Amino acid sequence: MKKVFVSGCYDILHAGHIQFFAEAKALGDHLTVSFASDEVLWEHKKRRSSIPQDHKNVLLQSLSMVDNVVMGTNMELGLDFQDHFLELKPDILVVTEDDQFEKEKRALCARVGAEYCILPKTPPRFEPVSTSHIVKWIRAPKEAPLRVDFAGGWLDVPRFARPGGFIVNCAISPLVSLMRWDYEQRSGLGGSGAWAVLNGEDGVDSELDLGVGWQDPAVIHETGLCVWESGPRPVLRLKRNGEMLRGLMALLYTGAEHDTPGIAARTRKFDWIYEAGRIAAKAVLEESLDGLAEGVRLSYKMQIDEGMNPLIEADKSLARKYCGGGWGGYAVYLFASPEDRDRFVASDARARPIEPYLKTVGA
């Protein structure tokens, strides 16, 4: 009888593990699977086990191609299974192409005369997935807000950051999900950041990888009406629940797509952006709607100076500006009263009301 041995964390079993076990078993007659104990997982991965180790044992035992299951408790990095391996003396140790401990495992095989076998990456019968990806997917929120930015946009892009500058933005509802997205896409509302967060990714890193700023995922994660310090990564200076904006915001879709990476290199008046951010940040501190509107108006002035088409005026609107980098997508409008906002929404089919969104504890 040819005995085959495999080892791994197997923290959350997925189809990739099953395919690996089946291919390993095909190399012999008897397959032993060793999984890392909770202590080993914590020591080496700094991660709690996703399921209790006794449950993990039962799951592995139930697989038709698995003949024996052992738990690795040795604390030597990469060799938690060593004691079982020396006792069982298998004929083959099977590893994957990306195994990080080849030198140590080959030496262990030499001690018992076992063959060290590397399984090539065969085309999977399904979309590949990893345990870490599953954990991120489980932890990802089911819904997320988008956001409107009032002032200071572009100062969240690391190469444009300015000491003493501020970015002011607000998470909004209705929320979006992977199954329901009731806004236009590529519209300047931080959709790419929300999409990354909903898929369990680090939204800030995802946006920075695109060469744009971090404000979208930062406020989507934080929620509320926020003031951020300009810099390479988000630092929250001040947060309000957004009640000063309830019933007073509307979006207008301009009919054109928005493309922040494509316009990042344009020439713009960063002094105006810097000043608008400082005005808006002071307004949030003082809970002044008029002050916030002043910051929005200066932001819009910069957008017009950059060459964007003027936005339609709205009766009794305090301020308006393109969301995000502009040149398309949505524009946000501020009003002095809910009645003024609702009249504007009723007057234009492209307009819709939005509200500030604050995530409650435990939500």
At 180-218, the pLDDT tens digits run 999 999 999 999 889 988 988 877 877 777 777 899 999
* Percent with pLDDT over 90 in the chain: 74
Positions of CATH 3.40.50.620 in the chain: 3-137
360 has a pLDDT exceeding 90 = no
Kindly tell me if the per-residue pLDDT of 355 is higher than 70. yes
The average pLDDT across 244-269 equals 91
**Residues near 58 by beta carbon (within 8 Å), at least 6 away in sequence:** none
- State in words which class domain 140-356 has: alpha beta
Backbone angles phi, psi at 131, to 5 degrees: -60, -45
Q: Across residues 269-273, what is the average pLDDT?
A: 97
Given a cut of 50, is residue 142 above it in pLDDT? Answer: yes
Mean pLDDT of the chain: 91
User: What pLDDT does residue 95 have?
Assistant: 95
Second CATH level (architecture) for the domain 3-137: 3-Layer(aba) Sandwich (3.40)
In the predicted model, is pLDDT for residue 130 greater than 80? Answer: no
What confidence score (pLDDT) does residue 363 get? 47
pLDDT at 209: 76
Residues 345-354 have pLDDT tens digits of 999 999 999 9
